[in-house]
Structures are given as C-alpha cells and as structure tokens.
Amino acid sequence: MTSKQRIKIIGLTLKEIMLSFCEAATLPFFASNPYYRRSVREYLDSRELDKIAFSKKIYDLKRQGLAETEDIDGEKFFWLTAKGVKRVMRYSVEELQIPKPEKWDGKFRVVIFDIPEKLRYPRALLRIKLYNLQFVQIQKSAYVHPYPCDEEIALITKQLLLSDFVTIMTSEIKHGREKLTREFKKRGLLTENDR
C-alpha cells in the first residue's frame, strides 16, 4: 500500500465506512436484521483497507453505540446496531439521487400524500427532499418526476415514518404533459429528443 493510499484510508469518515458497509440495495435487509454480521477480514480484503486505521474507525463506531464486534472461532465480525442502521438510513436519504436511465420511457412518476398535521415536520422534510430530487410540484401534495424512483421514495418515507401516508404511481399524463416536459428539459433531466 502506498503512502497516498494509506492517507486516503485514514481519512475515511465514519459515515463513509457505514455507507460502504450497507450498500443502499441492502438497506431494507439491514433495517429488518440489525444484527447482520460481516467478517472484518473479508471486508478489509474486498476494499484493500488498512487494518489499523479501520480498527480505529470501528472502535469509534462502537463508542457511539453504532456498531458491535465479536470474535467467532478466531475470526472477528462486526455489525451495526439498531442505532447504527438508523444512522445509515439517514445518511442514505441525505445522499440519495434518482438514477437517470439511458432512455426515458415517456412516463411520469407521481408522488401524492395526505399526511396529518401532527406530522407536519416530517411532511416538510419530505417536501424538501422531493424538491432536492428535482420533483415538480403540480398540487399542494402531489409531485412529479420523469424517472423510476419507487425504491428511493420508499427509503425516504420509511426513514421519515411516513410510508402509510404516501402513494407513488406511474402515469401517462395527457393534459399538462407539454408543460411538465418543458420544465424537466429546463432542469436538464430530459433532452430535446424526449417527448
């Protein structure tokens, strides 16, 4: 390992380690199984990480109550606690982006919600996140995006404890389609070739 690589590894934040441990695709599994164990040796080998620097980071995670470790038959395993899983889900929501497909399918994804007033704070956070993901608001509680985003919206609403109040649909919008298409072209999500 070069000194440049070592500096990079030592510079890894706890957030980066936690996000790399739980790839976004596996988050629902981690959320329901907070004691999922991972071999430290395999994790280090798969990422060519420095063992000493990584051990210090795991110690920090343990000190904060976000991870635990255990020796099983001479091999060390680590896992995130329930608190750690919650933190990763929060990080994942913060980092979340909707991937752009190679070709737009011509359909829109409509997110609608009816969230009680007592949940106004998480409702406001949902609106902010939809705005940041470049959804277009078409009504007070209805937002539109051109790309598939079921998994991303499910993750956001689960983190905000709003899953019961949010619906997502795929729609072939007829009336108002031109206006929406123009708006998404202006934002750079759609191109002139997209109709």
**Inter-residue contact 57 to 14 (CB < 8 Å):** yes
Domains in the chain: boundaries: 3-94, 98-186
Nearest to 87, CA basis, from 60, 113, 51: 60
Topology of domain 98-186 in CATH is Alpha-Beta Plaits (3.30.70)
Q: Indicate whether 60 pLDDT > 50.
A: yes
| Fold topology of 3-94 | Arc Repressor Mutant, subunit A (1.10.10)
Decide whether 3-94 matches 98-186 in CATH topology.
no
Query: Could you tell me the end-to-end alpha-carbon distance of the chain, in angstroms, rounded to an integer?
Result: 51
CB-based contact 112:167 (threshold 8 Å): yes
- The token pair that represents 184 in the structure block: 């998404």
Higher pLDDT, 30 or 141: 141
In 3D space, the residue among 48, 42, 39 whose CA is nearest the CA of residue 79 turns out to be 39
pLDDT for 104-146, tens place per residue? 999 999 999 999 999 988 899 899 899 989 999 999 999 999 9
Q: Is the pLDDT of residue 87 over 50?
A: yes
Rg of the chain in Å (alpha carbons): 21
E-assigned strand segments in the chain: 38-39, 67-72, 75-80, 108-113, 136-139, 142-145, 166-171
**Whole-number percent of the chain with pLDDT over 70:** 79
